[in-house]
């Protein structure tokens, strides 16, 4: 995809390429925001582990 944008940037009709490039950057920003909003997987794994420990203690108490 990046290679295609680069090749089109060298074409005589650059206005369309600039629009495509801007859209490409917006998509990257959108994906990055989605990734940043994901929960911290290490914290989530730790919470699950703690909950499992609590359940096991309740079962064996």
Global pTM reads 0.43
User: DSSP letters along 1-61, please?
Assistant: -HHHHHHHHTSS-HHHHHHHHHHHHHHHHHHHHHHHHS--HHHHHHHHHHHHHHHHHHHH-
Instruction: Choose the weakest-confidence range: 25-29, 42-46, 55-59.
Output: 42-46
**pLDDT tens track for 12-32:** 666 666 777 788 888 888 888
Q: What is the pLDDT of residue 53?
A: 92
């Amino acid at each position: 995809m990046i290679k295609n944008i680069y090749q089109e940037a060298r074409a005589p009709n650059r206005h369309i390429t600039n629009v495509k490039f801007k859209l490409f950057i917006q998509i990257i920003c959108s994906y990055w925001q989605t990734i940043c909003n994901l929960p911290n997987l290490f914290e989530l794994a730790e919470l699950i582990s703690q909950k499992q420990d609590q359940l096991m203690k309740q079962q064996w108490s």
